[in-house]
A and B are shown apart, each in its own frame.
Chain A
Amino acid sequence: MTIELTNITKKFGAFAALDGVDLRNADGELLALLGPSGSGKTTLLRIIAGLDWPDGGDVAFDGENALARGAGERQVGFVFQHYALFRHMTVFENVAFGLRVKPRAVRKDEAAIRARVKELLDLVQLDWLADRYPSQLSGGQRQRIALARALATEPRILLLDEPFGALDAKVRKELRRWLRSLHEEINVTSVFVTHDQEEALEVANRVVVMDKGRIEQIGTPGEVYDYPATAFVHGFIGESVVLPVNVTEGRVWIGNQALKIDAPNVGGPSKLYVRRHDMQVGSESIGLRGAVRHVRSFGAIQRADIAICAGGDETVIEIDTPRDHALRTGETVELHPRRYRIFAD
């Protein structure tokens, strides 16, 4: 199943939750919508599900207009952040719900429903909880039941809204791995929303980075990490060192100091972005130097706070370097970025 979103807009009062979003996924793909809160990612997911309606734009499933159908007719499985299990029903009845509410003509008989529910509970490895109520389960168990419930009707698309957001770190890691292997097993087109970059990069085939109701970049986890398309993506994903610079006639200035680096296609006040581990300390000079303020060591790396000396303003950056070159507090070091990006302000 492919999902195609064209120029989706959605306003809540004066606030533009979605501002012209275009998105197309591949069949069977596991797509992550990643962004800070308020970026519109959950609204976008709810529009795909039919739980919210866009003010403008088109939603098509396999080329067919999905906006003409209600949530119940889109054959979409939705998993909520806070599970939304039916509290007055047993685990078994929760999973069976989607099968029981089907019109009589297409409803399976009781034996077939029982078999299907059993199959799903086996899939999420919780068949021993069939007779419990949601309040008797742990968070991780509830979310797996919610997933089984969403899969019961064999949806064409699986949508997950911050599926692990309410769980503690350890369970979250476990379920993350489990979700990826489950997706490999059943291979249903899936979209999940998260604000956790690690989750998105680890689980998804492709990541959609959103900010302020717009898509900043779409790419594989490797692409968005190594080749951030915008300043926002660079700052949001991974640890970045950011330095204010000025670009005039192709030359990069930090304060009154010119740097020996290129700045293609940028001009005026800009920001120099470098991954924390890409900032090297050494003898090679590009004109960037700073005073070591503070050094902490863990494992194979040392993390240092370095005050960049350039003109009047002082910027303190945090870098990671190997321990073989020990840094001492107070010393002045030459810095050069192994890789960097410059984005105009």
Chain B
Amino acid sequence: MSDSAIAFDSGRVVVRSEPWLARVVIIGLTMLFLTVFVVLPLVIVFAQAFAHGVGAYLAALAEPEALSAIKLTLAVAAISVGLNLVFGLIAAWAIAKFEFPGKTLLITLIDLPFSVSPVISGLVFVLLFGAQGYFGTWLQNHNIQILFAVPGIALATTFVTFPFVSRALIPLMQEQGTLEEEAALSLGASGLQTFFRVTLPNIKWGVLYGVLLCNARAMGEFGAVSVVSGHIRGETNTMPLLVEILYNEYQFVAAFAVASLLALLALITLVAKTLLERHLDEGRQARDN
């Protein structure tokens, strides 16, 4: 789409568009805004991280606390993305391909984590699994540690990131309809064969898209995790939590070094997201033809 319209006016080609001054001002303001609020912070993160040279940067990341936070973050992301991939696929499949009572309620429930403050999400798990919580005594008696440990962090992260996969898939699957599945069934395919041979290949780019966004959020989650983690150094601190602790202790190089990893993740996610969106658009166009 071009930004100007060409009209034929009594034999002359007239290019109609905004006055150049308006264009310069509008584009300039946008660029300024983006620079101040997006580019500059990113640059500062990396500048601060490398303020004392590459050596100090690498040393900060090699600290046991940093390494443990990175490991924990990766592990928690792997667990919650894995769980949400399965839940999201099942939920999207049910919602997009079947009619059943309570469907609208289910769609609303899936969106709940988006509309609730992450702190509340964390608190819910404290109320459920904490020492004074509903299952607290039972858990203590059976010597199961959920709060202030990996299971709690994984649970809170899974809850907060629940909508990403299903939200990416529901519109896509609804648009694709159920015709191909019906064709597969009438050709003798079982339900599982239909899912793996027909449904899944059609939505694979959508799945990847959902996983990507889910992963970015899982690694970056602060609020919910902060409530359930207990901030035990070298044990239950994820990267975002560690960044805060280090910053509060005036260890700026270390704080920004860890932060730079998260920023890098964001940049990679952004590029991958753009590429995936292009793929999804092409798929849509191919369908429209």
> Is A329 interfacial (CB-CB < 8 Å)?
no
Q: Report the minimum CB–CB distance from A204 to chain B (whole Å).
A: 22
Q: Mark B177-192, 1 if CB is under 8 A from A, else 0.
A: 0011011111111100
A72 and B189: CB pair below 8 A?
yes
Q: Report the minimum CB–CB distance from B148 to chain A (whole Å).
A: 46
Q: Size band of the A side of the interface?
A: 20 to 34
Cα separation A76 to B286 with both chains bound (whole Å): 30
A153 and B188: CB pair below 8 A?
yes
**A87 partner, pick from B184, B187, B197, B287, beta carbons under 8 A:** B287
> Is B201 interfacial (CB-CB < 8 Å)?
yes
Cα separation A97 to B187 with both chains bound (whole Å): 8
Cα separation A98 to B197 with both chains bound (whole Å): 12
Cα separation A85 to B182 with both chains bound (whole Å): 11
B182 and A87: CB pair below 8 A?
no
Q: Report the minimum CB–CB distance from B97 to chain A (whole Å).
A: 13
Q: Size band of the B side of the interface?
A: 10 to 19
Cα separation A49 to B179 with both chains bound (whole Å): 13
Residues of B close to A153: CB separation below 8 A: 187-188
> Is B198 interfacial (CB-CB < 8 Å)?
yes
A84 and B286: CB pair below 8 A?
no
> Is B193 interfacial (CB-CB < 8 Å)?
yes
A78 and B183: CB pair below 8 A?
yes
Instruction: Take A82-B179, A86-B180, A87-B202 as given contacts and tell me if A135 and B187 are in contact as well, using a CB distance cutoff of 8 Å.
Output: no
Q: Mark B202-225, 1 if CB is under 8 A from A, else 0.
A: 100000000000000000000000
Cα separation A84 to B183 with both chains bound (whole Å): 7
Cα separation A127 to B185 with both chains bound (whole Å): 25
Interface residues of A (CB under 8 A from B): 49-51, 70-74, 76-78, 80, 82, 84-88, 97-98, 101-102, 135, 146, 149-150, 152-153
19 A-B pairs with C-beta separation under 8 A: A49-B186, A51-B185, A70-B185, A72-B186, A72-B188, A74-B186, A76-B186, A78-B183, A80-B179, A80-B183, A82-B179, A84-B179, A84-B180, A86-B198, A98-B188, A101-B184, A101-B189, A101-B193, A146-B183
Q: Which 10 A-B pairs have the closest CB atoms?
A: A98-B187, A84-B179, A101-B189, A84-B183, A78-B186, A72-B188, A88-B201, A71-B185, A135-B286, A71-B186
